[in-house]
Amino acid sequence: MLRKYVHDPSHVIQHQTVQLDENLSYTEQPIIIVDRRVKRLRSKDVASVKVVWSGPCGKEMTWEPESIMREKYPHLFEAQDSVEVAPVAVPEGVARNGVASS
Protein backbone atom coordinates (compact mmCIF):
# COMPACT_ATOMS: atom_id res chain seq x y z
CA MET A 1 0.00 0.00 0.00
CA LEU A 2 1.29 3.46 -0.88
CA ARG A 3 1.73 6.12 1.75
CA LYS A 4 1.56 9.86 1.41
CA TYR A 5 4.97 11.52 0.96
CA VAL A 6 6.07 13.76 3.81
CA HIS A 7 8.16 16.67 2.52
CA ASP A 8 11.70 16.83 3.90
CA PRO A 9 14.08 19.66 2.84
CA SER A 10 17.08 17.29 2.98
CA HIS A 11 15.58 15.31 0.06
CA VAL A 12 16.10 18.21 -2.35
CA ILE A 13 18.85 17.46 -4.88
CA GLN A 14 21.30 20.29 -5.54
CA HIS A 15 22.02 20.54 -9.25
CA GLN A 16 24.83 22.30 -11.06
CA THR A 17 24.72 24.34 -14.22
CA VAL A 18 26.36 22.42 -17.06
CA GLN A 19 27.77 24.09 -20.18
CA LEU A 20 26.43 22.26 -23.24
CA ASP A 21 27.61 22.36 -26.85
CA GLU A 22 25.33 22.99 -29.84
CA ASN A 23 24.60 19.26 -30.05
CA LEU A 24 23.63 19.15 -26.33
CA SER A 25 26.76 17.37 -25.14
CA TYR A 26 29.48 18.31 -22.66
CA THR A 27 33.20 17.54 -22.60
CA GLU A 28 35.14 16.13 -19.69
CA GLN A 29 38.74 17.23 -19.33
CA PRO A 30 41.58 15.08 -17.97
CA ILE A 31 43.27 16.45 -14.87
CA ILE A 32 46.15 14.11 -14.08
CA ILE A 33 47.50 10.62 -14.70
CA VAL A 34 47.70 8.65 -11.46
CA ASP A 35 48.85 5.18 -12.55
CA ARG A 36 50.29 3.22 -15.47
CA ARG A 37 50.17 -0.48 -16.29
CA VAL A 38 51.17 -2.73 -19.16
CA LYS A 39 49.01 -5.73 -20.04
CA ARG A 40 50.74 -8.60 -21.80
CA LEU A 41 48.61 -10.14 -24.54
CA ARG A 42 49.67 -13.12 -26.65
CA SER A 43 51.90 -11.22 -29.03
CA LYS A 44 52.02 -7.62 -27.81
CA ASP A 45 52.05 -5.34 -24.79
CA VAL A 46 49.26 -2.81 -24.27
CA ALA A 47 50.11 0.22 -22.11
CA SER A 48 47.27 1.89 -20.21
CA VAL A 49 47.12 4.91 -17.94
CA LYS A 50 44.65 5.70 -15.17
CA VAL A 51 43.28 9.20 -15.79
CA VAL A 52 41.35 11.48 -13.42
CA TRP A 53 38.65 13.36 -15.36
CA SER A 54 36.75 16.45 -14.28
CA GLY A 55 33.17 16.77 -15.39
CA PRO A 56 29.78 17.97 -14.25
CA CYS A 57 29.32 14.89 -12.05
CA GLY A 58 32.61 15.43 -10.20
CA LYS A 59 35.89 13.61 -10.54
CA GLU A 60 35.99 10.19 -12.14
CA MET A 61 38.85 7.77 -12.93
CA THR A 62 39.15 5.51 -15.96
CA TRP A 63 41.80 3.37 -17.63
CA GLU A 64 42.64 4.66 -21.12
CA PRO A 65 45.13 3.50 -23.79
CA GLU A 66 48.40 5.38 -23.31
CA SER A 67 48.97 5.95 -27.03
CA ILE A 68 45.61 7.72 -27.48
CA MET A 69 46.11 9.85 -24.35
CA ARG A 70 49.62 10.87 -25.50
CA GLU A 71 48.17 11.90 -28.85
CA LYS A 72 45.20 13.90 -27.52
CA TYR A 73 46.64 15.27 -24.26
CA PRO A 74 50.46 15.49 -24.48
CA HIS A 75 50.60 18.06 -21.66
CA LEU A 76 49.68 15.32 -19.15
CA PHE A 77 52.89 13.44 -19.96
CA GLU A 78 55.33 16.39 -20.00
CA ALA A 79 55.79 16.40 -16.22
CA GLN A 80 56.13 12.60 -16.06
CA ASP A 81 58.64 12.40 -18.92
CA SER A 82 60.92 15.04 -17.36
CA VAL A 83 61.14 13.22 -14.02
CA GLU A 84 63.82 10.58 -13.92
CA VAL A 85 63.68 7.80 -11.37
CA ALA A 86 66.88 7.60 -9.32
CA PRO A 87 68.00 4.23 -7.98
CA VAL A 88 67.20 3.74 -4.30
CA ALA A 89 70.08 2.92 -1.97
CA VAL A 90 69.39 -0.11 0.21
CA PRO A 91 70.83 0.14 3.75
CA GLU A 92 73.32 -2.52 4.85
CA GLY A 93 71.76 -5.56 6.48
CA VAL A 94 68.47 -5.19 4.60
CA ALA A 95 67.73 -7.39 1.62
CA ARG A 96 65.92 -6.06 -1.45
CA ASN A 97 62.66 -7.70 -0.32
CA GLY A 98 62.67 -5.75 2.97
CA VAL A 99 63.68 -8.66 5.20
CA ALA A 100 66.82 -8.25 7.29
CA SER A 101 69.66 -10.51 6.24
CA SER A 102 71.71 -12.41 8.79
Q: Has residue 19 been placed in a domain?
A: no
Please list the residues that pair with 38 across neighbouring strands. Answer: 47
Q: Has residue 48 been placed in a domain?
A: yes
Q: Has residue 57 been placed in a domain?
A: yes
Q: Name every residue whose Cβ is closer than 8 Å to that of residue 76 and which is 6 or more positions away in sequence.
A: 30, 32, 33, 51, 69
Cα 37 to Cα 48, 52, 70, distances in angstroms: 5, 15, 15
CA of residue 73 relative to chain centroid, distance: 14
Would you say the pTM of this structure is higher than 0.85? no
Average pLDDT over residues 1-29: 84
Instruction: Please give the single-letter amino acid code of residue 28.
Output: E
Rounded CA-CA distance 20/26 in Å is: 5
Q: Has residue 7 been placed in a domain?
A: no
Domain that holds residue 73: 28-82
Query: What is the model's pLDDT at position 80?
Result: 66
Residue 77, pLDDT > 80, answer yes
Domains contained in the chain, number: 1
